[in-house]
Chain A
């Protein structure tokens, strides 16, 4: 099968050389890393930034008058501006650092606890990650608001007609992911946002799975909140971003109390600091934030259009080869999706498939992908999920296909 990547404009071997981890072996086999939707790998350029931070200017930010603190503060704030520009956010102070997507979602959910009232309605989609379901369930329990679910269709997309029926003037919030983590479906968020705004509701979009593939223009989307994680886009774990419209960020109360988020503290009353510090209590993941900025620099230097085009090529190649395997079913096989393939082979448990693939040095994700409602919909215990990044190759896909066939022969 194809052994050479034909994309002239995209030198994948040069890109692969940036990722030291891709050289390692697993179970004496060259690593084939297809679990990018869980965590992407880190290029040397980002690793260097992390090493440089701890080697030269590790210090606490925003408070020291000494040189190291100033350097660290500058680098951290520069990273914030990089993230702001990347997502076309109006102001740096609307670009909040978080510990990741889950943290960002919880910040908004907790803020809305003081806004929602009994009788209000909150809508989530059936395609959500548990982290975008549980916080809203907790919020609804606390406030007496009602949780409604946009159902999914057999092809892995949202039932938008059902969404239209769920919307009403009671709808205060809609939570939906930009891209489904379990299936890769790209959701019609433009439509969801404009329709929700028409009834006066706000929308939070979980961009964790979209951000590595799609450069979202948050002003053009007119979205109220958008959350991402750095570790899905070549950055480190434990850091992410929450964007909020200024009116919302001003209105929502702080998420947690502590240093950085205060203006004046007396035992009678504390006044909160302005944005973004109101939401950034305590010492943040300073190095992580700086490295997140470096990761965006790295990906932008390659170019998101190039990345998307190349990944789509990988997706189409893998899809056509997997479909040729007897008894294999792909869930959510639709044109508009990111480079994620969720599949099962008739009579093979995804756990068994994942175990054999691991022995062959191939890293995939198996299980319910923290999206149990989707698995319940298809009445399956889980799937095998192969998710591709721009540093993967068609050769690696050939290795996966051979591995899947070998496992199938062992297991069926």
Chain B
């Protein structure tokens, strides 16, 4: 299993192959199509991430001490962004997720999506992913 920094580096290298923003966006849209989709039963207000102009749902399950994320969005670019995040975090132990940084988003030329005031909710998505990690870590320590 690759570590989070290794996966992030892999994504950065993939995006470096593209010369312009348009190709990067097209690739991101492609990645969105491979997103592990959330079970329809979780596409409710309870799992929705606030702060997005588009709708984003994220769900997490613990599978042998590792967190598996699934998600979906009604906007295709947003779906691409969440796919990149999930690829980097899914299948990792809670502590690794909590320690991980997200500056690779900047390196793949999506810096504009990192602004907390931007209505795409990327920052809220990261926060939600980390909250799941906190919750599963606490659960593991208590059991």
Contact = CB atoms under 8 A, between A and B. Distances in A.
Interface stretch (B69-77, B94-102, B132-140): B69-77
B100 to A, nearest CB: 25
B18 interface: no
B53 interface: yes
Q: Considering the complex of A and B, which 10 residue pairs feature the smallest CB-CB distances, nearest first?
A: A349-B75, A351-B75, A351-B54, A351-B53, A352-B77, A367-B53, A352-B75, A355-B77, A352-B76, A359-B21
Interface in B32-88: 53-55, 74-78
Contacts of B26: 410
A367 B26 CA distance: 22
Given A351-B120, A382-B53, A410 B74 contact: no
A324 B43 CA distance: 35
A410 B53 contact: no
A366 interface: yes
A382 B76 CA distance: 15
A403 to B, nearest CB: 12
13 contacts: A348-B76, A349-B74, A349-B75, A351-B78, A352-B75, A352-B77, A355-B77, A366-B53, A381-B53, A381-B55, A381-B74, A382-B53, A411-B29
Contact of B25 (A350, A356, A366): A356
Chain A interface: which size bin?
Answer: 10 to 19
Contacts of B22: 359, 410
Nearest to B26: A410
A257 to B, nearest CB: 34
Interface string A380-412: 011000000000000000000000000000110
Nearest to A410: B26
Contacts of A352: 54, 75-78
A411 B76 contact: yes
A366 B25 CA distance: 19
Interface in A287-331: none
A372 to B, nearest CB: 13
A350 B53 CA distance: 9
A41 to B, nearest CB: 21
B131 interface: no
Contacts of B75: 349, 351-352
Contacts of B77: 351-352, 355-356
